[in-house]
Amino acid sequence: MNTARNDDPQDAPVEYMRLPKVIELVGLSQSTIYDMASDGRFPKQVKLGGRAVAWVKSEVLQWNRDKLVAARGQSPDSNESR
């Protein structure tokens, strides 16, 4: 029996978010999200089939963290409070 843990991030399940949740999390309008995604300034959506698209949750959350770090002028590894 193999009990070794595999912590490979590629083995983690991918969670998707639909547009209303993305808008709620990032505070941007639908058109701004699509414009920024096409310019490479926001994670691109994934086509799920037909006309359905969604965003990878971890990518959107990382984008949010990166924006906060940039706004606060902190390095990503900094845990200091200001």
51 within domain boundaries:
yes
User: Cβ contacts of residue 72 below 8 Å, gap of 6+?
Assistant: 82
List the CATH number of the domain containing 22: 1.10.1660
The domain total for the chain is 1
Q: Which tens digit of pLDDT belongs to each residue from 17-75?
A: 999 999 999 999 999 999 999 999 999 999 999 999 999 999 999 999 999 999 998 76
Bridge partners of 46? 54
Nearest Cα to 57, choosing from 1, 40, 65, 79?
Answer: 65
The model's pTM is 0.75
Measured between alpha carbons, how far is 41 from 63 in angstroms, rounded to an integer? 9
19 within domain boundaries:
yes
User: What phi and psi, each to the nearest 5 degrees, are found at residue 17?
Assistant: -125, 140
**By residue range, what is the domain housing residue 32?**
14-71
Is 13 in a helix, a strand, or coil? coil
5 within domain boundaries:
no
